[in-house]
Amino acid sequence: MEFVQDSIPMVSVAAAAAALYARASSSVLRLGFPRLVALLPLFPFLVAAPLAFTSSAIIRATVAFFLAWLCAFKLALLAAGRGPLDPALPVLTFLFTALLPVKLRQRRGGAGAGAAASTKASKPDLSLVSCAVKAAVIAVILRLYQFNSRLHLYVRLAMYGVHIYCFLDLFFPCIALAVGALGMETEPQFDRPYLASSLRDFWGRRWNLMVSAILRPSVYDPVRARAGNPAGVLATFLVSGLMHEGMVYYLSLRRPNGGMTAFFLLHGVCCVAEGWCARRWTARGLPSPPQAVATLLVVLFVAATSFWLFFPPLCKDGVEEKLLEEWAAVAAFFLDAGKKITWYGQRGN
């Protein structure tokens, strides 16, 4: 992992310099074509930077998600004067917003803010419990990976799905904690997706909300304005699928097979059909299905289509084995760190 350790500061400094250039050039150029021309040289860098991490597929894909996907879209929106970036933002705020998968918001003063702070003050314990539970779940899953060859395929895929959710929903709060030193708050990235009552609820209001916040102004709104809501939904899912194909490439360094695009297009078509059916259902005055039933159907559909289309690209060409090896190394690192902390603690007593 020495190359990874060397690459992290190198890529971080280069990415920060690129973001600072984007802020400086955008502050002196007008919206539209002039600003876009100035920002264009940054896009090849954002695409190529994750490839510096040749020894770790997980880090390579994570950096690709940060830079090649989210940061690239944020800069494209910056050229149009939309999205979360604004050259008027303070330097650190601009850097964090550009380079991390977060949406920052200023803490506001006043009486109303006091009430909000009071409300938020009652939530940390719940957040800590939630993070502890997710960390425990990940620890159990990492342990079960040792018996992966004996597990049924669907059991393994279900474990991967739970692992992805718990890892992301644990990772983003850690980033939020880091940027809290800026006097900023981050908007939540997940909202209990396992309680979604529809596919539209799952994708639009509960799962990976940073991606939704980027795709909405960059893809959905422009397409919907010209071709209507169904076209906007399908275009958004198509772009999401293509970007996920890119993530598969960064994980495997092999040409993707289109499975991710098929997965997201299928869900886009189903979201359009679901909206059409919901409108007809409401127009006829029919009662909505019980929440528990709707949630169960959503979970089953997402799981079934994931097993069919989403996970197969991640389980071929040695990608699965590589990821399991890396996660085993992560588990060994934390286990060794825990033993050392325990040993020092006992020695200190």
Q: What is the pLDDT of residues 203-250, one digit of tens each?
A: 999 998 889 999 999 999 999 999 999 999 999 999 999 999 999 999
DSSP, residue by residue, 170-219: HHHHHHHHHHGGGTEEE--S---GGG-SSHHHIIIIIS-HHHHHHHIIII
User: Does 325 have pLDDT greater than 90?
Assistant: no
Same-domain pairing of 299 and 220: yes
Task: With respect to residue 276, please indicate whether it lies within any of the assigned structural domains.
Answer: yes
Same-domain pairing of 208 and 285: yes
Cα separation, 248 vs 175, in Å, equals 23
Task: With respect to residue 329, please indicate whether it lies within any of the assigned structural domains.
Answer: no
Per-residue pLDDT, 346? 59
Same-domain pairing of 222 and 310: yes
Same-domain pairing of 30 and 140: no
Same-domain pairing of 166 and 198: no
Higher local confidence (pLDDT), 261 or 186: 261
Q: What percent of the chain has pLDDT over 70?
A: 86
Task: With respect to residue 335, please indicate whether it lies within any of the assigned structural domains.
Answer: no
Cα separation, 262 vs 242, in Å, equals 9
Q: What is the pLDDT of residues 173-214, one digit of tens each?
A: 777 777 776 666 777 788 899 999 999 999 999 998 889 999
Same-domain pairing of 210 and 301: yes
Q: How confident is the model at residue 113 (pLDDT cuts 50, 70, 90)?
A: very low
Same-domain pairing of 206 and 316: yes
Mean predicted lDDT score pLDDT of the chain? 85
> In angstroms, what CA-CA distances link 72 with 45, 129, 172, 201, 240?
10, 34, 19, 26, 14
CB 202 within 8 A of CB 165: no
Task: With respect to residue 115, please indicate whether it lies within any of the assigned structural domains.
Answer: no
Short-list 272, 187, 281, CA closest to 236: 272
CB 85 within 8 A of CB 67: no
Q: How confident is the model at residue 76 (pLDDT cuts 50, 70, 90)?
A: very high
Same-domain pairing of 169 and 281: no
Same-domain pairing of 171 and 209: no
CB 191 within 8 A of CB 209: yes
Q: How confident is the model at residue 11 (pLDDT cuts 50, 70, 90)?
A: very high
Task: With respect to residue 244, please indicate whether it lies within any of the assigned structural domains.
Answer: yes
Short-list 187, 77, 209, CA closest to 86: 77
Neighbour count for residue 186 (Cβ, 10 Å): 23
Per-residue pLDDT, 1? 47
> Model pTM?
0.86
Q: How confident is the model at residue 5 (pLDDT cuts 50, 70, 90)?
A: low
* Orientation angle between helical segments 229-252 and 319-348, nearest 10 degrees: 70
Range of the domain at 227: 191-320
Task: With respect to residue 226, please indicate whether it lies within any of the assigned structural domains.
Answer: yes
Short-list 224, 234, 236, 245, CA closest to 309: 245
Same-domain pairing of 199 and 305: yes
Q: What is the pLDDT of residues 36-74, one digit of tens each?
A: 999 999 999 999 999 999 888 899 999 999 999 999 999
> In this structure, which amino acid lies at residue 40?
L
Q: Which of 163, 186, 209 is the last residue of a domain?
A: 186
Total of domains in the chain: 3
Same-domain pairing of 90 and 39: yes
Per-residue pLDDT, 243? 96
Neighbour count for residue 119 (Cβ, 10 Å): 9
Per-residue pLDDT, 194? 92
| Helix, strand, coil percentages, rounded to 5, for the chain | 80, 0, 20
Same-domain pairing of 274 and 314: yes
* Orientation angle between helical segments 91-99 and 2-28, nearest 10 degrees: 120
Task: With respect to residue 339, please indicate whether it lies within any of the assigned structural domains.
Answer: no
Task: With respect to residue 342, please indicate whether it lies within any of the assigned structural domains.
Answer: no
Burial class (CB in 10 A: 0-12, 13-18, 19+), 222: middle
Higher local confidence (pLDDT), 279 or 236: 236
CB 94 within 8 A of CB 19: yes
> In this structure, which amino acid lies at residue 218?
S
Best mean pLDDT range from 7-11, 244-248, 278-282? 244-248
Q: Which of 44, 72, 102 is the last residue of a domain?
A: 102
Neighbour count for residue 146 (Cβ, 10 Å): 11
User: Does 345 have pLDDT greater than 80?
Assistant: no
